[in-house]
Amino acid sequence: EIVLTQSPGTLSLSPGERATLSCRASQSVSSSYLAWYQQKPGQAPRLLIYGASSRATGIPDRFSGSGSGTDFTLTISRLEPEDFAVYYCQQYGSSPLFGGGTKVEIK
């Protein structure tokens, strides 16, 4: 069974800075079947990226996804105040599985 490890656990940054979040799989993820979600406190997760690099409808272009195989990255080019949240990756090449999350907090 694939295990997804997200790092760092917490990222402390200031608005305007660049955020780089990592999602590492214990086995290769088929066909880059990887998604990213954003979750704010008390809210449901929101899809940001699917297929490792395709932005979901309505997602600003400051969010980008990259990677393949076992290493994937979500990059937020310039953090806006509304971007401080928890981010989850999910693989769907086999039974759906989520990573443990990365919290992006205000420094």
Partner 1 sequence: QVQLVESGGGLVKPGGSLRLSCAASGFTFSDYYMSWIRQAPGKGLEWVSYISSSGSTIYYADSVKGRFTISRDNAKNSLYLQMNSLRAEDTAVYYCARAPGGEFPVNWFDPWGQGTLVTVSS
Instruction: Measure the CA–CA gap between 74 and 36, rounded to whole angstroms.
Output: 7
- Report if residue 2 touches partner 1, rule: CB under 8 A: no
- Report if residue 103 touches partner 1, rule: CB under 8 A: no
Q: How many residues bind partner 1 (CB under 8 A)?
A: 22
Tokens of 41: 């406190």
Assess whether the previous peptide bond of 96 is cis (omega < 30° from 0): no
What phi and psi values does residue 30 have, to the nearest 5 degrees?
Answer: -55, 130
Residue 74 C-beta: closest distance to partner 1, Å? 14
- Report if residue 63 touches partner 1, rule: CB under 8 A: no
- Report if residue 98 touches partner 1, rule: CB under 8 A: yes
Residue 96 C-beta: closest distance to partner 1, Å? 4
Instruction: Measure the CA–CA gap between 66 and 49, rounded to whole angstroms.
Output: 10
Residues whose CB is less than 8 angstroms from the CB of residue 12 and which lie 6 or more positions away in sequence, other chains included: 105, 106, 107
Give the x/- contact pattern for partner 1 in 17-56, rule: CB under 8 A: ----------------x-x-x-----xxxxx--x-----x
Instruction: Tell me which residues touch partner 1 (CB under 8 A).
Output: 33, 35, 37, 43-47, 50, 56, 88, 90, 92-101
